[in-house]
Structure 1
Amino acid sequence: SNEEQDLTVEGKVKSVLIENTLAQEVFEKQILVPWDAFCVELL
């Protein structure tokens, strides 16, 4: 998307598999900015 979006992750992240942005920073801010992308494994 080319717009900011709220992000909520239910559960805990076990690992980050793929990222083009710092996923941990996204989780802390709970906001996705345009073109953020990542794939995580949840516990």
Structure 2
Amino acid sequence: MSDWSEKEYEEEAERLGWTVDYLKAHIRKEERIKKVLERLEEDP
């Protein structure tokens, strides 16, 4: 996952009005989507 500290997660979650757990889940989803898109770009 991201290289953020717990404090950075807390600050970003507060800024967005989200919980830290929701923010982490959102970031995990984005990372999975990015990996899938990268694989699709590699395969003709």
TM-score (norm 1): 0.25
Greater share of strand residues, 1 or 2?
1
Asked which structure has the greater RCO (Cα within 8 Å, sep 6+), the reply is 1
TM-score (norm 2): 0.25
Greater share of helix residues, 1 or 2?
2
Q: Which has the larger radius of gyration?
A: 2
